[in-house]
Amino acid sequence: MAEYKEILLTSDEIKTDDYLVNMGPQHPSTHGVLRLLVQLEGEKVLNVQPHIGYIHSGIEKMTESLSYIQIPHLTDRMDYLAAHMNNEAVSLCVEKGLQVEVPERAKYIRTIFDELQRIASHQLWWCAFGMDMGALTTFFYGLRDREDILDIFEETCGARLTLNYSVPGGVMFDIHPNFQRDVKAFIKKFRKKLPEYERLLTGNVIFQERTKGVGILTKEEAIAYGVTGPSARASGFSCDIRKKQPYSAYPYIKFNEIMGTDGDTFTRYHLRILEMFESMNIIEQLIDNIPEGDYAVKMKGVTKLPEGEYYQRVETGRGEFGVYIISDGKKNPYRMKFRSPGFSNLFAINNIAKGWKIADLVAIMGTFDLVIPDIDR
């Protein structure tokens, strides 16, 4: 009879293997081509390593051979949900260098478009986030109302997504005659709809269980990792560029900077919904007071920025978008760098997601609102 030994296993002797799972590049919830190499132990996440570059188009190198008037049209493609804000950032930086003053009408128009774009971006975020959580109906509700904003964009700019509207000197065309009427009708309608959306998800017990206390980002971590935008404001890091270094028509209006304290997924989610309300307040302050006048300043055909370095920061739906131009006096920039918010936000996820489960990783990534072309440029 073979003898048997009684084997007593203590918990540090049982070695279960960690395994690596690829989320992406094609994956329904990474919202773009992003590959996450996730090291898992059962359901628990040990390490998340992002691999990017699937949609790298070398935009920064391209700008070195384009003129300053051509570059804003290229920036639409980077963060397509904040296309107008990207255009505006480049335009503002060039105007700063040339010391050109944009007419008041153009400033007001740019800010109204900014805020409409912010609402549209947050709507798309909301519907995709709900879908990731499993409430598939939210996808349709969010997109349905976003169509109104996209129709407004199409009337004035001719395009729904890649707006191509702000240029150095002002905006490309004047607003459509129906613009003010349509925007006011949209705000009236959306003010009633947004509480409906909140009721669907915010108060739901299942949703709260999955998001409250999950993926906490502390204020020190947010500053250290360079996280900006609603994700950082939820942790208490006051980083709204519209308040700190106001541009365009922001100095003329009053609005609140929405802040949170907990830094968990639920706060990040709720903050974006409140931001949508705040954007509507901003638009209401501006829409009736658009001053008459030119919509753009006549710029020379060939613009040359004086030698030096210029930096312009703009607040997009994701965080701080920065344009840094190093100019040597010629008609093309010597070096142009786009500081994208998604790039810093993405690499902070590893720190937050350690120890949580795969489902939480999806929730955390949803609240960071990543747009991959913004990261890859």
Specify the residue, 113 or 321, whose C-beta has the smaller distance to another protein.
321
Among 135, 216, 258, 274, binds another protein (CB under 8 A): 135
Smallest Cα–Cα separation from 245: which of 337, 315, 155?
315
Q: How far apart, in whole angstroms, are the C-alpha atoms of residue 368 and residue 32? A: 13
Q: Which of 94, 73, 58, 84 shows the shortest CA–CA distance to 323?
A: 94
We find the least distance from the C-beta atom of residue 129 to another protein, in angstroms, to be 10
- Using the contact rule CB under 8 A, the part of the chain among 191-199, 252-260, 296-304, 322-330 near another protein is 322-330
Residue 133 sits in the site that holds another protein (CB under 8 A): yes
95 near 303, Cβ under 8 Å? no
Nearest to 309 by CA among 23, 54, 96, 132: 96
Structure tokens at 191: 């003010």
* In the complex, least distance from residue 361 CB atom to another protein, rounded to whole angstroms: 9
**Closest distance of CB 136 from another protein, Å:** 6
Asked if the peptide bond before residue 168 counts as cis, ω within 30 degrees of 0, the response is no
Stretch that binds another protein, among 84-92, 165-173, 264-272, 336-344 (CB under 8 A): 336-344
Which residue in 35, 77, 96, 304 binds another protein (CB under 8 A)?
A: 96
Quote the CA–CA distance of 77 and 62 in Å, as a whole number: 13
DSSP helix/strand/coil, 263: coil
Chain Cα centroid distance, residue 87:
14
β-pair partners for 141:
none
Which residue, 30 or 117, has its beta carbon nearer to another protein? 30
| 98 in contact with another protein (CB under 8 A) | no
Give the nearer residue to another protein in terms of CB position, either 115 or 132: 132
Interface segment toward another protein; rule CB under 8 A; list 111-119, 166-174, 189-197, 339-347: 339-347
Provide the 10 A C-beta neighbour count for residue 71.
25
Pick between residue 140 and residue 173 the one whose CB is nearest to another protein.
140
Interacting residue with another protein among 309, 329, 331, 355 (CB under 8 A): 309
376 touching another protein, by CB under 8 A: yes
Cα separation of 249 and 235, whole Å?
A: 27
Choices 6-14, 159-167, 263-271, 354-362; region in contact with another protein by CB under 8 A: 354-362
**Nearest CB to another protein, comparing residues 90 and 157:** 90
Per CB under 8 A, the list member of 189, 199, 311, 355 interacting with another protein is 311
Residues 32-91 binding another protein (CB under 8 A) are 43, 52-53, 56, 58, 60-61
Q: How far is the CB of 143 from another protein (least distance, A)?
A: 10
- Of 25-33, 187-195, 257-265, 284-292, which segment contacts another protein by CB under 8 A? 25-33
The Cα–Cα gap between 215 and 324 comes to 32
| 293 binding another protein? (CB under 8 A) | no
DSSP assignment of 341-368: HHHHHHTTHHHHHTTSBHHHHHHHHHHH
Please check whether residue 353 is in contact with residue 48, taking contact to mean a CB–CB distance below 8 angstroms. Answer: yes
Q: What 3-state class would DSSP assign to 118? A: helix
According to the binding rule CB under 8 A, does residue 246 interact with another protein? no
Site size toward another protein, by CB under 8 A? 67
Residue labelled with tokens 């008041």: 104
150, 131 in Cβ contact below 8 A? no
Question: Cβ neighbours of residue 112 under 8 Å, at least 6 residues apart?
Answer: 183, 283, 286, 287, 290
Name the phi and psi angles at 342, rounded to 5. Answer: -65, -30
Q: In this chain, which of 223, 258, 274, 299 binds another protein, going by CB under 8 A?
A: 223
Which one of residues 161, 326, 332, 354 is an interface residue with another protein (CB under 8 A)?
326
DSSP 79: S
Which chain residues interact with another protein by CB under 8 A? 19, 21, 27-29, 43, 52-53, 56, 58, 60-61, 96-97, 130-137, 139-141, 144, 200-201, 204, 206-207, 209-210, 223-226, 228, 237-239, 244, 308-311, 313, 320, 322, 324, 326, 334-335, 337, 339, 343-344, 346-348, 351, 357-360, 362, 376
